Amino acid sequence: MTQVSKFRHFLLPSLSRPLPRHSSLYKPSIQFRSLITVLAASSKRHRSIPPLRRKSTTPMEVKETTFNKRRAEGRDKNDASKKNLQLKVRKLNPINTISYVQGLQRFCTEHKIKLSKIDHIFLSRVCSETAGGLPGLLLTLAGMGEEGMSVNIWGPSDLKYLVDAMRSFIPNAAMVHTKSFGPIFNTVEPTVPHQNKLLDPIVLVEDEVVKISAIILQPNCIEGQVLTRSESSSQKGMDHSPQIPDSPNGKRQPVAKPGDMSVVYVCELPEIKGKFDPEKAKALGLKPGPKYRELQLGNSVKSDHQNIMVHPSDVLGPSVPGPIVLLVDCPTESHLEALLSVQSITCYCDKTGNLPEAGKSVTCVIHLTPASVVSCSNYQEWMKKFGSAQHIMAGHEKKNVEIPILKSSARIATRLNYLCPQFFPAPGFWSLPNHNSSKFASLASSEGSLSELSEVISAENLLKFTLRPYAHLGLDKSSIPSMVASSEIIDELLSEIPEVVEAVQHVSQLWQESSQTKEDLTPVADYRMMIEEPWLCSNGIPACLENIRRDDLEIVLLGTGSSQPSKYRNVSSIYINLFSKGGLLLDCGEGTLGQLKRRYGVTGADDAVRTLRCIWISHIHADHHTGLARILALRRDLLRGVPHEPVLVVGPKQLKRYLDAYQRLEDLDMLFLDCKHTTEASLDAFEDDFQRNSVNSRNVNNNNGDIIASNVDSTLFARGSRMQSYFGRQGSPVDKDAVSPIIMKFKEVIQEAGLKALISFPVVHCPQAFGVVLKAEERTNSVGKVIPGWKIVYSGDTRPCPELIEASCGATVLIHEATFEDAMVAEAIARNHSTTNEAIEMGESANAYRTILTHFSQRYPKIPVFDETHMHKTCIAFDMMSINVADLSVLPKVLPYLKLLFRNEMMVDESDDVVEAVTSAY
């Protein structure tokens, strides 16, 4: 059954600001099967769990560990065979065509849709909102099977800027089939192609199954402002870019830039031939046989008994025009001007009350246009031109707020919340019905003005519009997910695991005991007393946690999986919530924004993004940074018109190449600093150089005051460090004049966040891979005692190494990757990752108070394999787990109850594609 499917909310279905809003058209075909039921099957395979092995260590013991040196240096060419990615050649149909990729992998896994079935991706705009998940998808497809797979990616001409940006971390072979269309903008002498040329349809695909055309909308606007034609003349003085007289009314326009274009897709199916009438054929002298077939194929034949030619129209009933679907992405009023001037669409519209041209009647119009544009009278008048067409309004941002489309993840979150609400707060969307009432009211008034159109509905998750067979033409709501009350999930849990009732009581008692313990703690009069481990109080609680406030720090594990998003775990991202002092992100994998909204709700997530102080990226692998552009773009939009500073992004130098190339598409409003400039040695060198320059500046004439060259190049990493050789070459010399102001800004941002230091340190994974240390400022209690600040360490991806132990010494919390189970140590060495046991040993060796294990292989979809015997200071991370610094004493005690919750879950429950690709994606 050929269908146009509503995948509008698959990244953020449960939230009021869904990210996907720019393409949801599943292109039609003559294949008479349901889209959802045909796609991927899943498999459940029980794993035999090998015995665990553990090697004991003593505290602070620094062990020699094995690792893949060639991989750490970026020279390992044998970890995966070279693949010549095969482009699948199939006729375009709804089973292998999709038009949006942000969050696509989790969506497909949830709904058992095989990624290997995707042949075509159509983008209606090229920006972080529409294509944020594209890098991860390409890498996943490239890792499937022995040869890998590739897809056709279609988009306006600025698609090439995105492809160029992704080349910094994705092999060229994964992107060879990108196909852009429309005008190419010359960056040296930018010009705007004539609007009439832009509005001509561009045929992308045309065969016996379907014809797909694209119409480009290029707005007349100044960046950050939407201008109507009447405004463009009066406001043009604000634009400092070159302008040319190219608008239809002769007024001058600002220069076009990449990222402005949007696309209207026109999808046309061929007509359905009329029914063959054998009686008519017999009357015209034809014998049953091959000539009947020729007539049905549209060919004329000569009569067997009469001297006449028999034409198809003589023996076939009336044909049924093929359905036509428009997918309209008109994001701003400026794009609306271009849309209204599209003459090629008029052939599909009613002509002053008459029918449109023969065979050109539009069956369905999917509007990705936001409510702010839909409410314009001009847009509504344009909609009315399509008469009886079904209009699906898919651009409203507050639809389907409380209905999660990632049901498996939501189900796990509900169970965890029931067991331990302190570490697993209720999802942010649970409190949204009251929050979004005003928005829905404005939406209703907008739709009320369209009362003259009887066929207007709001889109819902997984809404379908069936195109073939003709008898089923129209809306199909059978797959729309219904809301599942949390009480139903809990009832199911209690039936499955009755012991959980007692477990909930025990967990609650843990907090009561913890609260009592804190009340018993009294300030020590002589706070200068010497103890063997100065960071610990006499009762084993770190001194930094004395009288700690709940609004001091919260660690939110947004993504705890590795390689690629899965049904239950998103990829790496950690939100450091500093409450009134803002927040930080440590890594920012695909879907990070969606996870923030699931945790805090729409308003809370917007606040978190708006108040971000810094985003720190550990290394260039896609599962750690492909959600970054979306976060930066949202922050830019939230702060537009408000005085603010660009957000600081700290990451490896390869990331800067990607961001610089990407910013040709859209401004990300950020300031970049290389991780190597935030190592302890580098920061010390800059500080020494700054102090020398401050002294020398008093002796230098202001007119010719030259800055003394520093020796930062030679001190980027501690001398003698075994990590020095793993980076190979030093790289280009440091431009001190360019870096120094950013270092100063970096220190200012850290201080405003209430931190004493943010220090990066090299780890053993791939070239330019880092971990990070966050140190809080000291506090003074009521009796004048100086309380040290807490210390958080995040390992990034790494093998065990001395640098990590040294950086983690005395840490309050060590967040350590534990990609593999202990029985897979050989695989961990080959991939330069850590096993569960190795991560625990690193915490023991560094005397970390608490160790949180994360970054689990997607082989372990719900809970990893671990040895509970040695977990007295350790806990397993889950998505949305929120750990308040005041609750750290309870953290390991919760683990046995979490294990009870998942006692029946030791199986692989993912799509075949995920299991197949995960082995080659680290």
Q: What digits encode the pLDDT tens for the residues 239-251? A: 333 333 343 344 4
Among all chains, which residue has been given the structure tokens 């000569």?
302
pLDDT of 238 > 60? The answer is no
Retrieve residue 374's tokens.
């839909």
In degrees and rounded to multiples of 5, residue 550 shows phi and psi of: -70, -20
Q: Give the per-residue pLDDT at 432.
A: 47
Report the 3 state secondary structure along 337-367.
HHHHCCCCCHHHCCECCECCCCCCCCCEEEE
SS3 193: coil
Q: How far apart are CA 863 and CA 818, in angstroms?
A: 12
User: Which residues does 556 contact at the CB level (< 8 Å), separation at least 6?
Assistant: 574, 575, 576, 577, 599, 880, 881, 882, 883
Q: 74-88 burial, b for 16+ CB within 10 Å, e for fewer?
A: eebeeeeeebebeeb
Retrieve residue 44's tokens.
């459940």
Going by pLDDT thresholds of 50, 70 and 90, the confidence category of residue 694 is low
Tally the C-alpha atoms within 13 A of residue 619's C-alpha that lie toward its C-beta: 23
Q: Give the per-residue pLDDT at 342.
A: 87
Q: How far apart are CA 861 and CA 371, in angstroms?
A: 38
**What is the Cα Rg of the chain in Å?**
31
Tell me whether residue 73 is exposed, middle or buried, using C-beta atoms within 10 angstroms of its C-beta: 0 to 12, 13 to 18, 19 or more.
Answer: middle
Q: Between vectors from CA 648 to CA 646 and to CA 650, what angle results, nearest 5°?
A: 155
Q: Quick one: average pLDDT of 67-95?
A: 61
Q: Quick one: average pLDDT of 682-695?
A: 80
Q: How far apart are CA 180 and CA 667, in angstroms?
A: 21
Q: How far apart are CA 235 and CA 226, in angstroms?
A: 10
Q: 126-150 burial, b for 16+ CB within 10 Å, e for fewer?
A: bbbbbbbbbbbbbbbbbbbbeebbb
Q: State which H helix or E strand residue 100 sits in.
A: none
| The pairing of beta strand 152-156 with beta strand 120-122 | parallel
Mean pLDDT for the chain overall: 76
Among all chains, which residue has been given the structure tokens 């350590």?
816
SS3 726: helix
Among all chains, which residue has been given the structure tokens 């009686």?
279
pLDDT of 831 > 90? The answer is yes
Q: Are 851 and 872 in contact (CB under 8 A)?
A: no
Q: Are 562 and 858 in contact (CB under 8 A)?
A: yes
Going by pLDDT thresholds of 50, 70 and 90, the confidence category of residue 400 is low
User: Which residues does 660 contact at the CB level (< 8 Å), separation at least 6?
Assistant: none
Lowest-confidence region among 407-416, 451-460, 654-663 = 451-460
pLDDT of 580 > 60? The answer is yes
Q: Are 244 and 255 in contact (CB under 8 A)?
A: yes
Q: What digits encode the pLDDT tens for the residues 29-55? A: 323 222 222 222 233 333 343 443 434
Q: Does a cis peptide bond (omega within 30 degrees of 0) precede residue 469?
A: yes
Spell out where 349-463 has E strands.
364-367, 390-393, 456-458
From the CB of residue 287, how many other CB atoms can be counted at a distance below 10 Å?
A: 12
Percent helix, strand, coil in the chain (nearest 5)? 35, 20, 45
Taking the alpha carbons of 107, 113, 115, 119 in that order, is the dihedral positive or negative?
A: negative
Q: Quick one: average pLDDT of 621-630?
A: 94
DSSP secondary structure code for residue 600 in this structure: H
Choose among 115, 17, 881: nearest CA to 565: 115
Taking the alpha carbons of 245, 251, 254, 259 in that order, is the dihedral positive or negative?
A: negative
Q: Give the per-residue pLDDT at 723.
A: 43
Q: How far apart are CA 18 and CA 399, in angstroms?
A: 8
User: Is the overall model pTM greater than 0.75, yes or no?
Assistant: yes
Higher pLDDT, 922 or 810: 810
pLDDT of 61 > 90? The answer is no
Say which amino acid occupies 563: S
Highest mean pLDDT among 160-164, 334-338, 563-567: 334-338
Q: Give the per-residue pLDDT at 366.
A: 94
Choose among 811, 807, 805, 817: nearest CA to 788: 811
pLDDT of 193 > 60? The answer is no
Q: How far apart are CA 906 and CA 914, in angstroms?
A: 17
Q: State which H helix or E strand residue 369 sits in.
A: none
Cα–Cα distance list, 450 to 98, 378, 400 (Å): 29, 12, 21
Lowest-confidence region among 135-149, 475-489, 754-768, 800-814 = 135-149
User: Which residues does 71 contact at the CB level (< 8 Å), separation at least 6?
Assistant: 79, 765, 766, 830, 831, 832
Q: How far apart are CA 622 and CA 859, in angstroms?
A: 19
Q: What digits encode the pLDDT tens for the residues 833-886? A: 999 999 999 999 999 999 999 999 888 777 887 777 778 899 999 999 999 999
User: Which residues does 419 contact at the CB level (< 8 Å), separation at least 6?
Assistant: 500, 503, 504, 507, 897, 898, 901
Higher pLDDT, 815 or 725: 815
Q: At what angle do helices 500-520 and 486-496 cross, to 10 degrees?
A: 100
Q: Give the per-residue pLDDT at 679.
A: 96
Beta bridge partners of 243: 254
In the chain, the percentage of residues whose pLDDT exceeds 90 is 42
Higher pLDDT, 235 or 586: 586
